[in-house]
Amino acid sequence: MVDLALLGCGGGMPIPQRFLSSLLINYKGRKILIDCGEGTQVSMRLLGWGFKSIDVICITHGHGDHIVGLPGLLATIGNSGRTEPITIIGPEGIKDLVNGLRTAAPYLPYEINIIEAPREPLKMKINNGIYFSKAEHSDLIISALELEHSASCLGYSLYFNRKPKFDAEKAAAKEIPKIYWNRLQNNETIVNEEKTYLPSMVMGEKRKGIKLSFITDSRPNAEIPPFIKESDLLICEGTYGNDFDKQKAINYKHMTFSEAAQLASDGKVQELLLTHFSPSMLEPEIYKDRAEMIFKNTIVGFDRLIKTLSFKD
């Protein structure tokens, strides 16, 4: 299962009881952070999931409400005793942005690897950390999509793979020695003097994984629905709740609740979680019906909302 916590659901500026854009994902004890607005560290401290095991940080864009919490967080991660490298992914220009912010955190006990505007999905393995992988089977695939905002901005889709079930009958029929079964289940190819045994020789049909998509900040466009298609959860900006504010959304390249709901419907996702609320919208939940009229399975976010996504048999 995949656990996630919406650390901050605000956009623009923090207000009492609402920090700025940030999402923390926990899978197999390792963590991925998407965005790092003001208040991220406070929410993480209150949440109690720890800092040391953050392996990947995905930044959507360089506006302050999505990134200014980063230098402080990097320093705290260093103070937690981490020495392994951290990967930061972001849009075009992210290297200069991170290097600029790091003037406030110049001395870190770990390396930072920066990936700018990835063109291909990033395949990763998870084993006491998240590592890039060229293996056929990857535990995690992170994809990015260029969005339509006033700055270069990426949406993210994370797909958590699930291993096929082990097929004992298949292994026995191929006369594979039992001493190799466990290693083959763990995706290890066995080569001995007589024969080569592949993991595919003992595994059954592929099983559906978990897909999580994160879209903020952006206007709706035709590329988003196929990118988020059949997500178990879509976390999407809803800067404006009232449809009367649609012109503001157009001017500032954001979305209304109803526009986010239409994307969820077009993308055939399972559930929609709205976030990134304008500081002028003090009670976003009163506009929930604007989204539900289009996409019923909608949640209005709040700071430190926790959700668990489970694999389905």
**193 pLDDT exceeds 80?**
no
CA 167/CA 245 separation, integer angstroms: 56
pLDDT digits (tens, 9 = 90+) for 98-131: 999 999 999 999 999 999 999 999 999 998 999 9
User: Which one is catalytic: 35, 65, 139, 217?
Assistant: 65
pLDDT digits (tens, 9 = 90+) for 39-88: 999 999 999 999 999 999 999 999 999 999 999 999 999 999 999 999 99
At 136 the pLDDT is 66
pLDDT digits (tens, 9 = 90+) for 148-182: 999 999 999 999 998 877 777 777 777 788 888 88
289 catalytically annotated: no
Taking the model in full, what pTM does it have?
0.92
Domains of the chain from N-terminus onward: 2-164+206-308 (3.60.15.10), 165-205 (no CATH)
